[in-house]
Structures are given as C-alpha cells and as structure tokens.
Amino acid sequence: MEPLFLFLLRSSIGIILFYIAYWVFLRQETFYQANRLYLIGALFLSVVLPLLPFRYAVAVEPEGSQIVFQAINETMKTIQPVNAAGYDAASQDATALTGLTGILTVIYFTGAFIVLLRLFIQTGYLINLLYHSKIISIEGIRIVENRKFNSAFSFFNIVFINPDYFDRTDLRKIIAHERVHINEYHWFDLIISELLTVIFWFNPFMWFFERSIRQNHEYLADRGVLSLGYSAGQYQALLASQAIGIQVIGLTNNLNFSLNQNRFKMMTKKKTPGLRSLKLLVILPVVATIVFAFAEPTFVSQGENISSAGITGSQEKFILAGEVVDERGNPVHAVSVILKGTTTGTITGPDGKFELEIPPGNELVLSFVGKETIFHDLSDIRSATPVEGKYQKKYVMRDGVFIIDRDRHFLSPPPPPPPSALRERAGSPATPPAARDRAGRTEMEAADPDEEYVEVFIVVEEMPEYPGRFSSLGQYIKAMEEMHSREHSLKGDALAGFTVDENGKVTDIRILEADSDAISRSAVEIISGMDQWSPGRQRGKAVPVNFTLPLEFR
C-alpha cells in the first residue's frame, strides 16, 4: 500500500498549494469562467503530476574496486553485534510498522467507503423522488414539482421546485438562474469534485475546493440572471427568502448555496480589468513547485553521456535479458557485452545468456574473437513486451570472414583481447576491442577515403595455416590462375569464399563475384585443389574459419 499512500500524499500537497493560490489571488476576481477552468484544471494537475514524475540526470563518480572495498571495510567496523534480544526488538519494530500500515489502510478505505455511500444514498433518494414526481416543461426546462425540499436546485438538466414557495414572478428568475447551470454543464464539475472528495476525503482542502467550485457556479448563474435585466435588489430579496432551504445532495446546484454578504457583493462588484486576468498565471509557479518537489534523480556515471540519460518517464532504465547463439543455434560463451562509450558491461555464461541494466540512450556492442561484432541500437527494445520486468533479446553471431589479399597474405587483423578479460563473468567489465565497421576498419582507418571496402573480418587466436605458409599458397594460386587463363582463354576477375573447417579441410566454396560462368567454374576448381590446412584454434579448440580470396585471370 506504500505506493498508494505516496500518491495520496503528493496529490494532497498539490491540492493544498493550488487552493492557497486560488484563495490568495483569484477568489475575489470577477472572471468567473477563467476561475472555473482554474479550479477544475488544478484538481486535474494535482492528480496527474504525481503519476508522471520529472526525472533529471545526476553525474556521480564511478566507484572503483578499492573504493568499494574501503566502504565495505568501514561499514564492517561500525556494525555492532546483535544478540537475540536485540534481534527480537528489531523484529517487533518491523511488525509494529507493518501493523500501523494496516491500520492506516483500514481507516482510509473506511472513510472513502462512507463518503461514497453517502453520495450513493443521496443520489438514489433524488432519483426515486424524480421517478414519483410530476414533471412539466417551462420555457424548455424540465421542472419537477415536489414538496420535499424548500429550496430550488438543479440536478443535471432537471430543476426541482417547491410550488408552495414561489410565485410566477419568482419562477422566471429561478428558471433563468438554473438555466445557466444546465447550459454550462456545471454538473460535470460537480461529478469530478465529488469523486475526488471520495478519494481525498481526509484532506480538508479538497472540501474547500468543492465548496469554491459550487460558489463559483452560483456567481456565474447570478451574473446570467442579472444580464437579462432583472433588478439586483429584487433578485437578492428572492435569494434571501430562500435562506431556510438546505443543500440536499452533492450533485446538485442549489439556489441558496453560499448565500451570504460576499455573494451579494459579487453581484454588483465592478468587472475585473482584463489586465488582472494575468493573475491566472499563478498556476505556473505552483506547477513548477510540484514538478521539481517530486522530481526523481537518475544517477549516471561520469563516463556516460548525461545528455542521453533518461529525463522523461518513457526513458527509464530497464533490464535486458539477452542470449547469444552462433549460426547453428549453439550458445556462445564469454561474449563481451559492453555499453558503447562506457566501461559498463558483462560477458555471457556457458548458456550464452546475460543480464545487464541498460540506461537510456545507449548502444550495445557484442564482440567475440572469431565472430562478427554486433552493434545494437537499443531504441527498439521498448516496443517489445517485458517478461517479469525484463526485456528479452536473442542475438545470432555469425562466423568472421578473413580476407586473403592478392599477395596471398591475411590483411592485418586487430590483436585478440587478453585472456584475463574473459576469465570471469562477474566483476570488472571486459574491455571490448576497438570498434570496427563492416569493413573491419577502425575509425582512424576508415578516415582514408581511398581505402578499398572489404568484408568484415574477426581474428581467432591461432589462424589456420596453409602447408608451406603463404608463400606456398601464393605460388599455387598464381600457377593455377595462369594455367586456367591459358587453357580456357579466360580474362577477368572472381571473388570466392570458402571455409577451413575444424579438420583443416576446405569446404563451403562460394563464388561471391565473377565476370563469367567459366571464371566461376575455374575459381571453384582452383580452391578445391588446395592442400589440407592446419585448422584455426580458439582457446585451444579447433574452430571453422571463413575466408575470401580474389582471383585474377589474364
């Protein structure tokens, strides 16, 4: 129940602040329509603003391991031994607190039920009276003649009148008064205020709000009657004669409500100058006070980009529960999962799964030697449905591709990450290798506009090796290119892909580009004729490695 009580407390503070502003600045002014909007709008904002808290970013120093251990050490020094008696006392305090919360809950809902029951009983009584009374129409207004209540009042679009207390002259003034309530839908304001009174029955300012709304309705109705040319003195005499009536129900506008000297004075008060309507802007500092009083901080490490930190409610942190598998659906262990531009991250477990708290505005980088790096813009996560408060995402890491240049050498690969970065799943986050684009280039390398675009490549710890190394591979390829060019009269280029599997065999030959079908067939024949390689290894285990090889026929 704590969230409910926190909401009630915050909304009650808003109701108090808005009403004080009305009482000090607006209640004596004659712009009644504007006051009506203020009163209803203030109640709406008092309820809505606590539900949409403003969030702001606060930069904090990232805690190093030494600081953490120092804090733990200092905390341990201050911990006092607790005996059984002390434990029992703490337990009793917690039980007492829980008991107090339960008592407050019972009191709150009992009060709300009583106020709601009162509203239902009064409304039901009025509906029953309406059902058993005679209804007539005068000047387009439906009139219920009854002798239960002395004072005239309107209920939605129906006017209740006791014929024993009015003559024909008075009746026209009463109809004019109640017509304003009906035409301006004052019953809508009453429904809102009555329902909020049920919720905030414990807050006296809510009752003040309800009274001010009704009072403002009467000001509007009085002005409507006088605008028809009726004498203010005669109209005030009619109201005074109704002073014996009483208010009967929350959803009615009573003719004699708030009948006092102030109401008579407001009838003849000089109209407020238009410039003074600027006093309505008092709502702005009140809103600002409520927003900033209930604002919630979002703590951001100084290594993160504060401008991308969550400020609005739709940009809160969330938990990402991810799973990383290879192209065959097998889990990939020890994948580095890092928030781009930070040192915050984790690595996958033996099942390929990980969990990471994601602050707003970040991009996730998943890297693993021998696999293509994944860059995931997390903006699409919110469109998914969380499971038990966690967003689910499955990542498929493709095998990396290595380029063999025209001199039959590997293009210079980035060094593999140190094994220490992959020792533990918990603890200090693993530092990812330098970010590379789809061509396998760093930002510095990509800055050269003359560099040729090539496919992605990711290194393994031990690269596959051709018998006799690259000098033998180069000689073999060059000799085969010359032979096929001569025997088949070929002229053109081809780009072929193949895989050296975990046994060192050349498999999965693919022609990626070729100038003709004849060149494609020759490229497949050349690659198929390669000797068996020594397989590549990752952490001592033989793994398949992908290659691309350009071929020239002249």
Confidence class for position 439, pLDDT limits 50, 70, 90: very low
Across the range 153-169, mean pLDDT stands at 80
Buried b vs exposed e over 202-236: b needs ≥16 C-beta within 10 Å? ebebbebbbebbbbbbbbbbbbbbbeeebeeeebb
The residue to which tokens 């890297």 are assigned: 367
CB 369 within 8 A of CB 416: yes
Same fold, 312-401 and 433-553: no
Q: How far apart are CA 492 and CA 405, in angstroms?
A: 17
pLDDT at 93: 56
Q: CA triplet 433, 435, 439: central angle to 5 degrees?
A: 115
Highest-pLDDT range among 97-106, 260-269, 421-430: 97-106
Least confident of 302-306, 335-339, 432-436: 432-436
353 vs 74, more confident: 353
Across the range 138-160, mean pLDDT stands at 84
Q: What is the pLDDT of residues 244-266, one digit of tens each?
A: 555 546 677 676 666 666 776 77
Task: Tell whether the model's pLDDT for residue 378 goes beyond 60.
Answer: yes
Least confident of 184-193, 356-365, 422-431: 422-431
CATH of domain 312-401: 2.60.40.1120
Least confident of 131-145, 157-171, 496-510: 157-171
Can you spell out the DSSP letters for 459-523? --SB--B-TTHHHHHHHHHHHHHHHHHHHHT--EEEEEEEEE-TTS-EEEEEEEEESSHHHHHHH
Question: For 110-173, where are the E strands, in sequence order?
Answer: 134-138, 141-145, 153-155, 158-161
CB 251 within 8 A of CB 282: no
pTM for the structure as a whole: 0.50
Task: Tell whether the model's pLDDT for residue 443 goes beyond 70.
Answer: no
**Segments making up each domain of the chain, as ranges:** 120-272, 312-401, 433-553
pLDDT at 223: 87
Helix (H) or strand (E) holding 353, with range, is strand 353-358
CB 295 within 8 A of CB 311: no
- Supply the DSSP symbol for 14: H
382 vs 532, more confident: 532
Q: What is the pLDDT of residues 201-239, one digit of tens each?
A: 999 999 999 999 998 888 888 888 888 888 777 777 777
CB 385 within 8 A of CB 398: no
Q: What sign has the CA pseudo-torsion 31, 33, 34, 37?
A: positive
CB 530 within 8 A of CB 449: no
- Compute CA distances 476 → 473, 482, 483, 525, 531, whole Å: 5, 10, 11, 12, 10
Task: Classify 221 as helix, strand or coil.
Answer: helix
549: nearest Cα among 480, 447, 448: 480
Q: How far apart are CA 67 and CA 61, in angstroms?
A: 11
Task: Tell whether the model's pLDDT for residue 274 goes beyond 60.
Answer: yes
Q: What is the pLDDT of residues 288-299, one digit of tens each?
A: 888 887 777 665
433 vs 495, more confident: 495
The residue to which tokens 């004669």 are assigned: 241
Percent of the chain residues past pLDDT 90, beyond the cut: 19
Confidence class for position 413, pLDDT limits 50, 70, 90: very low
**CATH 3.30.1150 given to domain 433-553:** yes
Least confident of 88-97, 218-227, 231-240, 543-552: 88-97
Helix (H) or strand (E) holding 338, with range, is strand 336-339
pLDDT at 115: 94
- Compute CA distances 398 → 268, 313, 373, 418, 442, whole Å: 83, 36, 9, 22, 20
pLDDT at 65: 41
CB 137 within 8 A of CB 264: no
Q: How far apart are CA 55 and CA 296, in angstroms?
A: 5
Q: How far apart are CA 16 and CA 204, in angstroms?
A: 9
The residue to which tokens 């029951």 are assigned: 117
Would strands 153-155 and 134-138 be described as parallel, antiparallel, or unpaired? unpaired
Hey, what are 257's tokens?
């409500």
Task: Tell whether the model's pLDDT for residue 506 goes beyond 70.
Answer: yes
pLDDT at 203: 94
Q: Quick one: the chain helix, strand, coil %, rounded to 5?
A: 45, 20, 35
Task: Tell whether the model's pLDDT for residue 498 goes beyond 70.
Answer: yes
pLDDT at 291: 81
Dihedral pair phi/psi, residue 285, rounded to 5°: -65, -30
Least confident of 84-88, 176-180, 187-191, 443-447: 443-447
Percent of the chain residues past pLDDT 70, beyond the cut: 72
pLDDT at 116: 94
Average pLDDT value over all residues in the chain: 76
523: nearest Cα among 489, 554, 486, 550: 550
Task: Tell whether the model's pLDDT for residue 70 goes beyond 60.
Answer: no
* Overall size of the chain counted in residues: 554
**Strands of the sheet with 390-397, listed across from one edge:** 353-358, 318-326, 390-397
- Supply the DSSP symbol for 404: B
Q: How far apart are CA 277 and CA 39, in angstroms?
A: 15
Report the 10 Å Cβ neighbour count for 408: 18
CB 130 within 8 A of CB 142: no
CB 366 within 8 A of CB 456: no
Least confident of 7-21, 317-331, 375-389, 472-486: 375-389
Confidence class for position 8, pLDDT limits 50, 70, 90: very high
